[in-house]
Amino acid sequence: MTDAAELRHRTRELLAAYPPATTGRRDFLRARFDAGLAWVHYPAGLGGLGAPRSLQAAVDAELEAAGAPDNDPRRIGIGLGMAAPTILRYGTEEQKRLYLRPLWVGEEVWCQLFSEPGAGSDLAALGTRAVRDGDDWVVNGQKVWTSSAHLARWAILIARTDPDVPKHQGITYFICDMTDPGVEVRPLRQVTGEAEFNEVFLTGVRIPDSRRLGEIGDGWRVAQTTLMNERVSIGGMRIPREGGMIGPVAKTWRERPELRTHDLHQRLLALWVEAEVARLTGERLRQQLSAGQPGPEGSGMKLAFARLNQEISGLEVELLGAEGLLYDDWTMRRPELVDFTGREAGYRYLRSKGNSIEGGTSEVLLNIVAERVLGLPAEPRTDKDVAWKDLAR
Q: Is residue 77 a contact point for ligand FAD (CB under 6 A)?
A: no
**What part of residues 351-380 is at the interface with ligand FAD (CB under 6 A)?**
354, 357-358, 360-361, 363-364, 367
Nearest distance from residue 59's CB to ligand FAD, in Å?
Answer: 29
Taking the complex as a whole, the smallest distance from the CB of residue 155 to ligand FAD amounts, in Å, to: 9
Q: Which stretch binds ligand FAD (CB under 6 A): 114-122, 132-140, 200-208, 318-326?
A: 114-122
Using CB under 6 A as the binding rule, the residues of this chain from 299 to 358 that contact ligand FAD are 354, 357-358
Total of chain residues touching ligand FAD, rule CB under 6 A? 18
Beta-carbon count within 10 A of 179 CB: 9
CA–CA dist 338, 325 (Å, integer): 20
Candidates 33, 42, 104, 114; binder of ligand FAD (CB under 6 A) is 114
- Given 230, 242, 258, 318, which residue is catalytic? 230
Residue 257 bridge partners (DSSP) = none
Complex with ligand FAD: residue 3 or 363, whichever CB lies closer: 363
Stretch that binds ligand FAD, among 107-115, 177-185, 244-252, 255-263 (CB under 6 A): 107-115
Q: State which residue, 112 or 169, has the beta carbon closest to ligand FAD.
A: 112
Q: Which residue in 277, 313, 311, 304 sits closest to 366, CA to CA?
A: 304
Q: Which is nearer to ligand FAD, 120 or 182 (CB)?
A: 120
Q: Is 280 exposed, middle or buried (0-12, 13-18, 19+ CB in 10 A)?
A: exposed
Provide the residue type at 26 as one letter.
Answer: R
For residues 205 and 218, give the distance between their C-alpha atoms in angstroms, rounded to a whole number.
Answer: 21
Determine the Cα–Cα distance for residues 86 and 95; give it in Å rounded to an integer. Answer: 11
Q: Which of 327, 302, 336, 287 is nearest to 73 (CA)?
A: 336
Task: Report how far apart the first and last C-alpha atoms of the chain are (Å, whole number).
Answer: 52
CB of residue 172 to ligand FAD, shortest distance in Å? 16
115 binds ligand FAD per the rule CB under 6 A: yes
Task: Give, as ranges, the residues between 119 and 138 that touch ligand FAD (CB under 6 A).
Answer: 120-121
Phi-psi label, residue 16: left if phi above 0, alpha if psi -120 to 50, beta otherwise: alpha
Please report how close the Cβ of residue 364 comes to ligand FAD at its closest, in angstroms. 5
Q: Interface mask (CB under 6 A) for ligand FAD, residues 144-163, using x and -?
A: -xxx----------------
Q: Choose between 170 and 354: whose C-beta lies nearer to ligand FAD.
A: 354
Q: Which stretch binds ligand FAD (CB under 6 A): 61-69, 113-121, 164-172, 308-316?
A: 113-121
Query: Which residues 6+ apart lie within 8 Å of 218 measured at CB?
Result: 172, 173
State yes or no: residue 197 binds ligand FAD (CB under 6 A). Answer: yes
Spatial distance between the Cα atoms of 193 and 351, rounded to a whole number of angstroms = 10
Residues 208-267 that bind ligand FAD (CB under 6 A): none
Backbone φ, ψ for residue 137 (5° rounding): -115, 140
Toward ligand FAD, which CB reaches closer, 162 or 358? Answer: 358
Q: How far is the CB of 283 from ligand FAD (least distance, A)?
A: 25
What does the alpha-carbon distance between residue 126 and residue 51 come to, in Å, rounded to a whole number? Answer: 38
Residues 37, 54: Cα–Cα separation, whole Å: 13
SS3 226: helix
Q: How far is the CB of 198 from ligand FAD (least distance, A)?
A: 9
Tell me the residue number closest to ligand FAD, measured at CB.
120
CA pair distance 188, 145, nearest whole angstrom: 7
Given the complex with ligand FAD, which of 55 and 232 has the nearer CB atom? 232
Stretch that binds ligand FAD, among 65-73, 110-118, 235-243, 318-326 (CB under 6 A): 110-118
Q: Using an 8 Å Cβ cutoff, are 216 and 197 in contact?
A: no
Write the Ramachandran bin of 123: left for phi over 0, alpha for psi from -120 to 50, otherwise beta: alpha
230 tagged catalytic: yes
Name the burial class of residue 361, with classes exposed (0-12), middle (13-18) and buried (19+) by CB atoms within 10 angstroms of its CB: middle
Residue type at position 393: R
Catalytic residues: 230
Binding site for ligand FAD (CB under 6 A): 111-112, 114-115, 120-121, 145-147, 197, 354, 357-358, 360-361, 363-364, 367
